[in-house]
Amino acid sequence: MHCGRFTYLLPLLMSLLSPGPSAGLAGGQLELIVVDGATGQPIACRMHLRDARGRTRRPTDRTLPFWHDHFVLPGKTVLRLPPGNYEF
């Protein structure tokens, strides 16, 4: 992840939530909030996310700018991901 000269804390709030038994989903949600260390305010950030096989994962939220191997989040987003290991 690259956030320029800003100090970032990832995660300030990062939680992997399992769907409830009635949800019928084959995955979970990961909430990401990237904050400026000096102000504590959310800041935009570029993120590279890969699954256990090294494949780039595109966020399900198609409003997030995506290019080849990374996407940009505006400081906060929720990723819906299948269970597994990921690298960012």
Who has greater pLDDT, 2 or 78? 78
Is the model's pLDDT at 84 over the cut of 80? Answer: yes
pTM over 0.75: no
Residue range 54-76: mean pLDDT, rounded: 94
8-56 pLDDT per residue, tens: 333 333 333 333 443 444 678 989 999 999 999 999 999 999 999 999 9
CA distance 15 to 32: 8
First to last CA, the chain: 6
Q: From CA 76, how far away is CA 71, in angstroms rounded?
A: 12
